[in-house]
Chain A
Amino acid sequence: MKSLRTQTRLANLFVIPYGMSFVVFIICPIVFAAVLAFTQLDLTSRQHVHFVGFDNFREALKDPYFVQATQVTCLYSVLIVPAFVILSFGLALGLQGMAFGRNTVRGMLFLPGMFNVVVASIIWRWFYDGEFGFFNYLLKREGLTPIHWLGEKTLALPSIVVMSLWWGLGGATIILLAALEQVPIHLYEAAMIDGATSRKLLTKITIPQMRPVLLFIVVTSTIGAFQVFGQTFMMTNGGPDRSTTGLVQLIYDTAFNKYRLGYAASISWLLFFMISVIIIAQALLLRRSID
């Protein structure tokens, strides 16, 4: 490679297009976001833009809307992540156990993942509709009282969880199936000679072998859950009574409906820190369970 390396100066030119984009749209915005978080910048007020130190963060921690949005985000993650991991793992095991038709079913399971969040939400809002919805059509046909799935404070968030599972399970299932196929077959053969039951095979071989991939699914689905926005924006717009207003929805409302950009930036940093803490905690837990 010596002959290639001699042309270093020319070589650097190849980095310039991406490098410029990276500096302008990644580095600058991060620095700028850090400055904004300590700034009062309200597009509606006539106040001058000025530095306010930690005021935005102090305000957030006392703001009942912020506290509630954090609770909603955590509740959503607690509801969806375990279900997501268990169901996608179950589906992957099911796919692996199929005597025929595996590729067709795999393709069908992933198709919802191709849908736009807007379209996926429209379909499910129609399903959940209090009057004309599919679920209530079934209930009414059985002579039961229809339920306002998205209009009840306790039901709205779980209803969105169900829709999100439908939307996202396929991708995780594909990843887990690929990992299942990587588990060395001789491990199973040896255990079977020793007379292991299929439950033992699952708990003593499959799950331990799959641990890194399962962690990958846990981490990515947690990150995704903390950033939930499209579904809640489309299906309930954060309601009823803010019971589905997560942190990203709060950032969006604060920045682009109330035009409090500085305050919204500080909330996005708080969200960033929450996500980081959770990822680090999950990674440490995994490392401990391996040792």
Chain B
Amino acid sequence: MKNRGRIVAFVMMLIAIVFLAPAVLMVFTAFKAPDEVLNPSSAIPHHWTVENFARTLKYSEEAPFAQWLLNSLLISTSVTFLVLFVSSMCAFAIARLKIKNGSRILIVIVASMMIPGQLFLIPVYLMLGWFHWLDTPLALIVPATAGGFGVFMLTQFMRAIPPSLEEAALIDGCSLWGVYSQICLPLCTPALATLGIFTFIGSWNDFLGPLVFMDSVRNYTLPVGIALYQSSYYTEYGKTLATSVLGTAPLVIVYAIFQKRIISSMATTGLKD
């Protein structure tokens, strides 16, 4: 029995290495010189060079990489904080203040999560046009706050908090805003952190939204910038892969820091019925 566990462990490790191989090959190849990229003799570069990265990062009108990176950071950070703020306030009203019809409101919000995103694409595109928000970061920030997942998740979490602390604070003359910001939010830190990480990743990886709503090159987010620009140097794989490495690095850092939290909250998604 024990031997079997060891054999399984080795087989699974081999599989995991196969899973990681594409990413590792991408990183190695990004450090190769152009002729070595096309005629690989080994996976590991003979001569390590940062030429591909230097060419990617050099400012150019048609591929302002640093600008795209800034856009993505600005948009994903704003979306994350707005979603946390707006969803936690709504969840606070439903779960803690027990507003009238709170659970009915929650059902409508959860039902809206079932609708596939493409249905919203065309009407939201036209509406953003009327607001004159197309091709501005607002087009990607504001509509993202309407997602129901945050309200749903935070309501579930807040319902489990005992009310005694909040009641005591109210008796001591604390305002509702004070109860929300000084007591409820600190108690919700774990849930807020999880929601924040997933919102950031989701916003960073969003592709269809920025592809449709953004028009000028300098307003692209990183994924759309990489996608549309790489089509013009299709087979310059060294450069394409260097761009991809740089574009993925921020998320891999997020993953490295929060891996435990990300995996444990992924694990529970299937269990809530």
Contact = CB atoms under 8 A, between A and B. Distances in A.
Contacts of A11: 93, 97, 99, 176
A216 B269 CA distance: 9
A52 interface: no
Contacts of A82: none
A43 to B, nearest CB: 10
Interface stretch (A61-69, A101-109, A145-153, A200-208): A101-109
A157 interface: no
B40 interface: yes
A115 B21 CA distance: 14
B77 interface: no
A248 interface: yes
A252 B117 CA distance: 12
B93 to A, nearest CB: 4
A280 to B, nearest CB: 11
B266 A171 contact: yes
The A interface, classified by DSSP as helix, strand, loop or mixed, is helix
Contacts of A131: 235
A166 B244 contact: no
B26 A4 contact: no
Contacts of A284: none
Contacts of B227: 118, 233-234
Given A15-B90, A26-B112, A105 B124 contact: no
A98 B9 contact: yes
B15 A91 contact: yes
B170 interface: yes
A108 B120 CA distance: 34
A176 B270 contact: yes
Interface string B129-141: 0000000000000
Contact of A271 (B116, B122, B205): B116
A196 interface: no
A122 to B, nearest CB: 5
Scoring A8, A99, A176 by chain B CB atoms within 10 A of each residue's CB, the highest score goes to A99
B54 to A, nearest CB: 19
B170 to A, nearest CB: 5
A265 B123 contact: yes
Contact of B23 (A1, A18, A24, A115): A115
Interface stretch (B55-63, B186-194, B245-253): B245-253
Contacts of B124: 25, 29
A12 B100 CA distance: 9
Interface string B184-221: 00000000000000000100110110001000000000
6 contacts: A29-B127, A36-B122, A109-B15, A111-B252, A118-B223, A166-B19
